[in-house]
Structure formats: structure tokens, C-alpha cells
Structure 1
Amino acid sequence: MELFRRLGVADKLRAAGVPASEPLDVVWATSGSGSILHRFAYAAPDAAREAARVRNDGTDTLEPAMRVSQIVLEPVLKKLVDANPLVDVRFGWAYEAFEQDAEGVTATIRNGGTGETASIRALYLAGCDGGGSRVRRDAGIDLEGMHAIGEAYMVHFRSTDHQALAKFGIAYHLQTAHGTLIAQNGHDIWTLQTLAPPDSDPDELLRNFMGRSFDYEILVANPWTPHMVVANRLRNGRIFLAGDAAHQVIPTGGYGMNTGIGDAVDLGWKLAAAVKGWGGEALLESYEVERLAIARRNREAAQRHLEVRLAIINLFMEAQAEGDLEGAEASERRLELGRRIAELGNAENESWGIEHGYRYRSPVICPDGPEPALDPMRAAPTTFPGSRLPSLHLADGRPLFDLLGPEFTLIATGQANIGGFEAAAAAAGVPATVVRLDREPVLDLLERPLLLVRPDQHVAWRGVAAPDDWASILATVTGRAGEADRREKAA
């Protein structure tokens, strides 16, 4: 959501999501109509935003989380893209094949309705065409990991039977041994995700989950196969992969779309830099280095979360083996089951280090001393190069992130002298903004008086004083360091 804010569309997306006044609670129960076992309570986005402003310690995000269904989000994004004069949208056309050469890529596309084909010539091609990516296939890129790790079933339905569906109050996820019920819009659209064979009866799945009959209308019901795979490469020449084409993980943690958005932002600004002429080959190479590491880390996190879910299901089975979990006589067993669920925790919804504390390591990042440890549960504020800039509010209430320029930004605090930065950036053709900030206590969290921040809000370089040679720093962070040597070798 911070990245969407940078694009100026966060408010438009929130208007389509679940109201920000609703909490993000996760509830475990014996069944949808049974007894509550444990509630992991999480503040509503509105409350989380205010708490982050008051806390102001760099551990939070400027934008709180947003609950939204993909089928609601995508039309909003499409409308934004349709209205953008710089984007040529061709719905109904599908990618067929590509050919690349030293100067660019030629892609063949086909109209699904008429069969008409057309060619598109471009400098680069980004394959964002999903798990079954034809671009990935044609680029000769393989997937590594575990395929078909289980049999899953989704039931997407409409219901206003809140007496049945909201027995335990407002919750984002209601979870039982029979699956997870997701409240998609806080009113009448719901999704049940469960482990079940492909020939399952969706009506039976709903009844088993709820433990009773209720009124509903099924909108979509289908089996699906979860994978835990990551591409072994994200690039072949002028061809790049992003999103599900590059990685597929189970939804424990919600890392699929979120990782894909991170891919798009990282690849987007680097392609823009290359097209505009100020980004070098090493900058394009860094996309694979940076995003593959994050995709693998997120896959491992999703696997850990799945193992916790399976452990909880085993606890259910053990408790049910001793008898029915409902009724007064089972109260002690329910209490014990709830205690053990609480003990296992809910890292799936609390891994802030995974979600916004991740750090890039690549040739376009300038390291600075010993690297601090990464904690998957906590996004400790740091400006160690490669890290996301901590979100802070200044004394006058302004969010630091809102002061960043559209490309590179040099933050200078207190009396820090920036030396010849502006002249060096102009000479190199690197678009850069300088943000000068008066000294105030909260800025101690930035750790250094000089920070060079990338367009994706990650720190590329930091220092206590301006370097003697800004040109070499800018050459490194834009991927142009050593380009003359490479050209000489190529010649």
C-alpha cells in the first residue's frame, strides 16, 4: 500500500476495499456455528494508521494493510490503467510468441475473438502472465520447488445470513479444522478455502464448515492445486518475469500478490531507467538478484505458516478423538485447545519482517559496515543499504515518505553537506531530488545524516559525510559502474 501511495492510487483502491474501520481479527472455532477457541485480535486499518503515527518509531508502515478481494481490486486497477494515456491496453489479446535480438523484442499477439494476429516491437518484454506463463516457457526458464503439494477447493458465495456467518463478531478470517472462511467485503461476499479433493460437493463443504445449514448463493466453486515454486531465473536477455509467472506459493501469509507487486515496482523503475538512458546493464541484472532472494524467502515463510496450520489441525484431531468438542462437558478441552492454538501463534498475519522489513543485496547497493540481522517477525527500523526506508512523521506532521521525489532522493539532515551531489547527478543524467531536513530527535532513527533512496523507497547508499566522488556512487546505484570496461571487452 505504500508503493500504491507512491503511485497516487492508494485512496482509490481503499474505496473499493473493506471499510478501514473494520478490524482484521482471525478467529479459530470448533465450527462456524460452534464455539470460539481463540481470537487473534488485530486493529482496524484506521486505528493502525493512528497508532503508527503516535508510535512513530519506524517499525510501522505509512499505509496500513487493506482488505480487498482480487476480483474487486482488479477492475479498479484496470480503470486506472485505461485512463492512463501512456498505457496501451488491449484486452482480448493474448501473447503467442516472441523473438529477441540485440536491439529489442518482437512479440506476436492474437485476438481471442477474431483470431487476428499482430506484432509489437519493444525494447523489453515483461512476462506477467500467471502461473502457466507462456513467456516463461518460451524463455526457457524452469520452476524449482514443490508442485501440487495438496488438493484445495474454493467456494466463493454470497450470503447475508449474518446470524450464521458472523456468530463470533466481525473477523477477517474464521478458521476451523475444515478450512478458512474469508470475509471479502464485510457484508455479503465470502470465500471458503479448504483442503478437499476435486470431486467434492461445494454445498457439503459449506455445511461441514458451518456445522449447520444456512442461506447462500454459490458464485464460483472450483478445485485448485497449490504449488510452492520459484523460477530459477527471472531474466533471459530482454525478457523478464514477474508475479505468478515468477513464483507461486500457497496463500498462508498472503505473499502471492504482495510479492508480485514488489516485483512490478522493482522491475518497473529499472526498466524505466534503462529506457530513459540513465540505467545501466547492471541495474537490469539486479532485478533477478534482488527479487529471486525475496521470492525464495517468502516461499519459506509461507511453508512455515502452513506447518503451523497443519499442527493446529492435528490438535483438533487429538481433541476430537477424546469426544465431541461442543457442550458444557467439553469446555475444559476447548480451553486447552484454544490455549495451544494461542501458543502456536499466528505468524501468518504478524510477520512484519517478511512483509516490509526485507532487504536487498545486489551490485547496485552500496554496503555500509556489518549488516544487522533480519527478524521475520519484526521490521526493525534501519537504513542499512538495501533496507526499506523507515516510515516516520516529522514534528510538523509530514510523513517522510511523502517528501521523496519520483526517482532517486538524497535526504540530508541537520547541517549535512551534500557536496557536489546535484552537479554529479546532472552530469550523469540521473533524475534526483534533494530533501533537506532540520535536525529533530525522530530523525536519529535514520542512523546517518545522508541517505540516497531509490524510487522503490529502499536505501541505496548512506554516509556520515558526502563522498569525494559522487559520480562513482551514482554509477554504482544506477548500474553503470564498469560499463566502459565491459564495452571495451565486448569490442
Structure 2
Amino acid sequence: MSIGKHDRAPVLIAGGGPVGMTLALELAHHGVRSILVERNASTTRHPKMDLTNGRSMELYRRLGLAAKLREVGVPRGNPFDIVWATSGTGHLLHRFAYPSAVEWERRAAQRNDGSFTREAPMRVSQIVLEPVLKAAIDAHPLVDVRFGWSFESLEQDADGVTAVLRRSGSDERTTVRSSWLAGCDGGGSAVRTQLGIALNGQHAVGYVYMVHFRSKARDLLARFGIAWHLQTGAGTLVAQDDGDTWTLHVPMPPTFNPDTDKAGLSPGELLRTFAGTDVPHEVLVANLWTPHLVLAERYRLGRVFLAGDSAHQFIPTGGYGMNTGVGDAVDLGWKLAASINGWAGPALLDSYEQERRPIAQQNMDAAGRNFAVRVQIAEAFFAAMADGPLEEPGESGEQRRDRLAKRIAELGNAENESWGIEHGYRYADSPVIASESAPAPAFDPLRCVPSTAPGSRLPHVFLGEDRALYDELGDGLSLLVLGDHDVGRFVGAAEKMRLPLSVVHLKPGPHLDVLEHPLILVRPDHHVAWRGAVVPDSVERVLGVAAGRH
């Protein structure tokens, strides 16, 4: 079969979920064309996630999408509170209170110590997030969008990849030729299957029944005020828009057998049990789903890469799944673009797996720890209920609830407080990061320790009112220069090596003490590639390491 001009592109992206669309936009941001195929005819109608964390939002800010995404998210003034109660209409046990996006931004500006992200996190359903990304790729001339087409097979050689696509629901097929292929096609990835790459870890951690519904009965479903999650011993209710759209997740007991017990599940009955009373509602989607804790044994085979759920799948305790995928997309995107645009060496693309797979392992472990806490809280509920009804009036019931509440508070909520996991991570052993003999700060899953140690995410600080350090960075490599340093040799070397380098001159001040060094080389994804006190003797080597040429 001959391949026409319109069926050729530097990158073919299989999968049009958030990760695939983000990758397409990242490539386009760097001037690289792609073809994106998605087997479904439209964006998802299933509520797969409800948090875009601060790190993902500052990455979307680079792409000019943060404001558009916030337009469809939960109002910026609404908090991220997590509430535990005996039932939806029962007694409040404990509230983990978290600031709204507005308050997050206020605190970030007030402290200005590098521990916050440039953008606040955002509560948003994937159902409404995806159309924003879809509109962006549809409008971009460098993205050839083909929804309703599924990836079927691939063959690769030394020069590229030939993929066969099939129009969904028909026998019509076409062939696409690309230099590189990215498998962003979800947990059941056909690309991963074609490559024969295994998923290692714990499959089918349990079974959960989801009821996605519409209801205006806020007096029953939001009795304890605005809360992102309302949690009881019977499940978790997610307020998708703080209006009339909700998602209830009910974990099944360990003895649950999907083959024999699934037929007996009733969405209305599960909702009534959770709320403690009948709730007027309209079911939008209801199904059984299975969480996993699995990680692909490798992220690359030749000219084909995996990203997002095709490479890792986590229990959604912490919301790390899609957010880890967004990090994958940006890391892979700028590196593919650098290779296609001619300034990267082979080590740069090799570093994608070396950087992102350890982060996925780190995040998967955190999700597992968070799930273990959920199990302990469930056990506390069972123990309390064994003593008597949780809703029992009088002193006995009050004491029972008080003991349960104290246990919940004691176990804590690292699930929604792991800032180290979300934006304090570091690419510790990357071949395209200039290593140092001095040890970097110890990684803390719960706390973002701001640092410019190579591999770290550059700390976010404001330089003045409404002007942030991140906003000064270029699209390629950026050299931060604090004070009076002659960086002409850096500029000259970059020109000779044909590297995109922006020089950002900064006036030293207390707010920039967090940068630790006067010279810092920053990558397009905000991570530090090198830092120094003086211009090194071999600037070519520093730049070469960052570009994957050494």
C-alpha cells in the first residue's frame, strides 16, 4: 500500500485521551507535526479523574491552556475539603480542610519560598477537561486529529514506523508512516501489546462500583457544606462540579465475585445506602471497575514509546494517574521535538524512560500506601459498627463516633497532602542531568523541598507583582543568571551547537535565595539540567549533557 503525503508525520500518537492530546500540543508548541488517532468518536463520557494537580496546571500554563481549563473546572473559590461522615445524612466525623485555588494562590504569593506551584491545583472532571484539550488540538494546524480511528498494528525499521489504522466500526484501513510512535492508548494498550511489553505489579487490587449521576438534592449530598470528597464506610462521593453532578465509588467486599455477584448490584440501592435515605437522581453511567497497581517493564522499544496508562496504572488514591501521564507527555514531547528539530543527541530520548519510569514507581508506591490507609479506616469503621450503630443517639453513640473520628484524624490524609510526590520530585539518575558530588536534599513524599539540585523542578517564585520566574523562561533551554556574570561563552557555544538557548538575567534578592546558585541551566520542562557558581571551563560539555550529546 502506498503512503500518501497526508499519511506521513514525524510523530504518530495512538490514543486521544488527556495524555495523547497533551503530547500533541507539546510537540506543536515546539513546531512539530503529529497525527493523533483515537478509536472513540468523541471525548470520554466516563468520569475517570477529578483533579488536575498544580504541577500539571503549570505545565498546561506553558501551553496557554491554564485559563481555558479553569473555565470548565469547579469555581476557583471552592475548597478541596475531604469529609468523613457516618453516612451522607448522618454525623460528621472529621474534616480535612484544604484551600481553594484562590487561597492557594494567595499563600503562594505571600510565602514565595519555592514550595508552591506556579498554578494552583484544579478540581475538574475529565469529562469536561478533555473537550478543552480536543478544541486545542482541533484548532492547531500542526495536529492532524483523527477521532474514530484505532491503532491496529505496527512495523518499525531503522528509519521509522509503519502503522496500520482502522476506522472504528468498519473494515476500512489506512497506513501511516512516522519517524516515531507514541502509545498513549490506555490500560489495554494495543501498542504495548504489539511490543510485547509486560505490566508488572498487582493487578485487580479490588472491585469498585461507580455510579455517576445527576441530582439537585444538595441538602442530602452536601449536608456538610462544600467538599470535594464525602467519604463514609460505604464509599466515596465525588462532587464533580459542586452543583448537580456527582460520582459515587463503592468498594466491593473482599469476597466479591464479579461473575456471580455483579448482577445483584443496583445503582439506586448503593446510593441510598451511602446517603442513608432515598435520593432523587438520574444515573448517567454505572459500571464495575477494577483498580490496578502496575508498571510497564520498559517505556521504549526502538522508535516506539509508551506514556500514561499504557505505561502505568495506579489506584486513584491520590489522583496520580493522569497527572503522572501529563508529566510523561511533556517529558517525551520536548525530547522528541528536540530530536526532530535536530539539536538533540541519542541520549536525550533514552533519558525518557530513565526519568519517567522511576517517578511512576514512586507514585505507584505512594498510591499503594494511601490505599493501605483507606483499608485501615475501613477497618476502624467495621470495629466501631461492631460496638453498635454509628447513628445511635445519646452518650454511647457519641463516644463511639468520637473514637472513630480520632482514629481517622490519627491515620491522616497523605492521599491529598503529598506535595513531594506531586511537584517535589527529582530526576535523580538521568544521563542528561549534570550530576554533583554533593548529595541533593532527601526526597520527602509529603513535602516539596525547593531546590535547584540538578534534576529538581525549578522552584517557582514571584519576581514582582504578577510576574513569576517561570514566565521568563524560553521554550528551549534557559540560562538563569543572577548578578553580574559574563555568559558570552554559553551563548556562543549554543549558537555553534545550534541549541535554542534563552538567557534570563535576574537581579539578586532575598526572594531568589532559594535558587542557591547564580547560574542555572533549565530545560523546557522546568527541570534543572546544571547549576554553578561560575561559568565552567567547558560550557560545551554542560550544554552537550543537557542535549543528550554526551
* Same fold? TM cut 0.5: yes
Q: 2:279 & 2:168 partners in 1: Cα distance?
A: 40
Question: What letter is aligned with 2:234?
Answer: H
1:288-437 map, 5 Å:
288-326=353-391, 327-329=393-395, 330-360=397-427, 361-368=429-436, 369-437=438-506
Q: 2:362 & 2:179 partners in 1: Cα distance?
A: 31
Q: CA deviation at 1:336?
A: 1.7
Question: What letter is aligned with 2:510?
Answer: P
**Is 1:281 paired with 2:349?**
no
SS at 2:242 equivalent:
coil
Q: 1:294 & 1:28 partners in 2: Cα distance?
A: 30
Question: What letter is aligned with 2:218?
Answer: H
Aligned twin of 1:85 = 141
Q: 1:30 & 1:118 partners in 2: Cα distance?
A: 56
Q: 1:407 & 1:345 partners in 2: Cα distance?
A: 41
Aligned twin of 1:262 = 327
Question: What letter is aligned with 1:342?
Answer: A
Alignment partner of 1:69 out of 120, 125, 147: 125
Question: What letter is aligned with 2:434?
Answer: C
In the alignment, is the contact (CA less than 8 A) between 2:155 and 2:163 conserved in 1? yes
Q: CA deviation at 1:419?
A: 4.1
Aligned twin of 1:187 = 243
Q: CA deviation at 1:62?
A: 1.1
Deviations along 1:211-257, one digit per CA (max 9) or x if unpaired, are 11111100000001111100000000000000000000010000000
**Is 1:203 paired with 2:268?**
yes
SS at 2:247 equivalent:
strand
Question: What letter is aligned with 1:257?
Answer: M
Deviations along 1:298-348, one digit per CA (max 9) or x if unpaired, are 000000000001101111111111101112331122112111111111000
Q: 1:350 & 1:113 partners in 2: Cα distance?
A: 44
In the alignment, is the contact (CA less than 8 A) between 2:441 and 2:449 conserved in 1? no
Aligned twin of 1:47 = 103
Q: CA deviation at 1:397?
A: 4.4
In the alignment, is the contact (CA less than 8 A) between 1:143 and 1:231 conserved in 2? yes
Aligned twin of 1:484 = none
Question: What letter is aligned with 2:388?
Answer: G
Q: CA deviation at 1:396?
A: 4.9
Aligned twin of 1:238 = 303
Aligned twin of 1:138 = 194
Q: 2:291 & 2:189 partners in 1: Cα distance?
A: 16
SS at 1:124 equivalent:
strand
Q: 2:75 & 2:435 partners in 1: Cα distance?
A: 41
Q: CA deviation at 1:113?
A: 3.9
Q: CA deviation at 1:414?
A: 1.2
Deviations along 1:351-390, one digit per CA (max 9) or x if unpaired, are 0000000000210000122121000000011000000000
Aligned twin of 1:487 = none
In the alignment, is the contact (CA less than 8 A) between 1:395 and 1:440 conserved in 2? no
SS at 1:123 equivalent:
strand
Question: What letter is aligned with 1:242?
Answer: A
Q: 2:298 & 2:354 partners in 1: Cα distance?
A: 9
Output the TM-score relative to the length of structure 1: 0.97
Aligned twin of 1:486 = none
Q: CA deviation at 1:138?
A: 0.7
Deviations along 1:84-111, one digit per CA (max 9) or x if unpaired, are 0000000110001111100111111011
Q: 2:189 & 2:319 partners in 1: Cα distance?
A: 21
Aligned twin of 2:225 = 169
More displaced stretch, 101-110 vs 193-202: 193-202
Q: 1:417 & 1:181 partners in 2: Cα distance?
A: 57
Q: 2:467 & 2:292 partners in 1: Cα distance?
A: 43
**Is 1:149 paired with 2:205?**
yes
Aligned twin of 1:485 = none
Q: 1:433 & 1:153 partners in 2: Cα distance?
A: 51
Aligned twin of 1:12 = 68
Q: 1:48 & 1:209 partners in 2: Cα distance?
A: 31
SS at 1:290 equivalent:
helix
Q: 1:328 & 1:133 partners in 2: Cα distance?
A: 55
Q: Percent identity?
A: 58
Q: CA deviation at 1:415?
A: 1.6
Aligned twin of 2:31 = none
Q: 1:465 & 1:337 partners in 2: Cα distance?
A: 57
In the alignment, is the contact (CA less than 8 A) between 1:418 and 1:465 conserved in 2? no
Question: What letter is aligned with 1:41?
Answer: A
Q: CA deviation at 1:262?
A: 0.4
Q: 1:396 & 1:252 partners in 2: Cα distance?
A: 36
